[in-house]
Structure 1
Amino acid sequence: MIFCYNKAHVGDCLMIITADDGGQPLDVDSRGDVTRLTGKNSGEVVGWNVFHISKHVPDLTGNGQIELSDKQLKAVNDLLKQSGFSEQLAADTSPKLVVGFVKSCKKHPDSDHLSITQTEVDNGDVLQIVCGAPNIKAGLKVVVAKPGAMLPDGTIIWPGVLRGVESFGMICSARELGLPDAPQKKGILELPYDAAVGEPFVPAI
Structure 2
Amino acid sequence: MFVSTYNNNGLNDTLMILFEKSESDVQEFSKSEDLVEIKNKETDRVVGYNLFNASTHLKDLTNGPVTLSEENINSLNELIKEADFKKTLETTGRSNFVVGYVKKCEPVEGSDHLSVTQIEIDDEKEVQIVCGASNIAEGQKVVVAKVGTVMPSGLIIWPGELKGVTSEGMVCSARELGLPQEADGIMVLDDGPEPGIEFKF
| Correspondence 1:1-205 to 2 at 5 A | 1-21=2-22, 25-57=26-58, 59-179=59-179, 181-183=180-182, 186-203=184-201
Task: Report the alpha carbon displacement of residue 198 of structure 1 after superposing the two structures with TM.
Answer: 1.1
Task: Report the alpha carbon displacement of residue 194 of structure 1 after superposing the two structures with TM.
Answer: 2.3
Task: List gaps (5 residues or longer) in structure 1.
Answer: none
Number of positions where the alignment pairs a residue of Structure 1 with one of Structure 2: 200
Amino acid at match of 1:153: S
Indicate how the Cα distance of structure 1 residues 138 and 24 shifts in structure 2: closer, same or farther if over 3 A, else same: farther
Task: Report the alpha carbon displacement of residue 49 of structure 1 after superposing the two structures with TM.
Answer: 0.1
Per mean C-alpha deviation after superposition, the further-off stretch among 14-23 and 128-137 is: 14-23
SS in 2 for 1:98: strand
Indicate how the Cα distance of structure 1 residues 166 and 89 shifts in structure 2: closer, same or farther if over 3 A, else same: same
* TM-score for the superposition, normalised by structure 1: 0.89
CA–CA distance in structure 2, aligned partners of residues 134 and 96 of structure 1: 24
Indicate how the Cα distance of structure 1 residues 186 and 40 shifts in structure 2: closer, same or farther if over 3 A, else same: farther
Task: Report the alpha carbon displacement of residue 45 of structure 1 after superposing the two structures with TM.
Answer: 1.2
Amino acid at match of 2:92: D
Indicate how the Cα distance of structure 1 residues 191 and 23 shifts in structure 2: closer, same or farther if over 3 A, else same: farther
TM-align CA RMSD:
1.8
CA–CA distance in structure 2, aligned partners of residues 121 and 73 of structure 1: 25
1:62-115 Cα offsets, whole Å, 9 max, x none, are: 121223333322222222222232332223322211101111111110211101
CA–CA distance in structure 2, aligned partners of residues 110 and 95 of structure 1: 34
Task: Report the alpha carbon displacement of residue 38 of structure 1 after superposing the two structures with TM.
Answer: 1.2
Please say if residues 46 and 87 of structure 2, whose CA atoms lie closer than 8 Å, have aligned partners that are also in contact. Answer: no
Task: Report the alpha carbon displacement of residue 55 of structure 1 after superposing the two structures with TM.
Answer: 2.6
Task: Report the alpha carbon displacement of residue 9 of structure 1 after superposing the two structures with TM.
Answer: 3.3
